[in-house]
Amino acid sequence: MRIEVVRTGGFAGIERRAEVDTSGRADEDELRALALLALRPDPGAARGADGVRDGFSYRITVDGRTVSCRDPHLSDAQRSLISRLLKEGA
């Protein structure tokens, strides 16, 4: 499974991206489950809700399926996957 996370926006407007192929990784099953959950819309987030000023926008792509989300309207799975791939808080 190929997972890509792209973060844009923020105060400085600097784009960050990370991509991982889960094949053969020790955490393959965990990343696969997290990625599939991250593709689902967060039922707790308001539909079409705007992000916060100078907040980040994210694009998560898993094997060609893409979802876009914005701070602070991230599901727990999205936040966790973003943090793991970008190796920083989301």
What are the pLDDT digits (tens) for 43-87?
555 555 566 778 899 999 999 999 999 999 999 999 999 999 998
Query: What CA–CA distance (Å, rounded) separates 81 from 67?
Result: 13
* CB distance 70 to 57 below 8 Å: yes
Q: Average per-residue pLDDT in the chain?
A: 88
Query: How far, in Å, CA of 59 to CA of 65, rounded?
Result: 10
Cα 35 from chain centroid (whole Å)? 8
State the average pLDDT over residues 26-54.
80
- pLDDT band of 10, cuts 50, 70, 90: confident
Query: Which percentage of the chain shows pLDDT scores above 90?
Result: 69
Q: Tell how strand 65-70 and strand 16-21 pair up.
A: unpaired
Residue 48 CA: distances (Å) to CA of 18, 67, 68, 81:
26, 13, 11, 21
pLDDT tops 80 at residue 34: yes
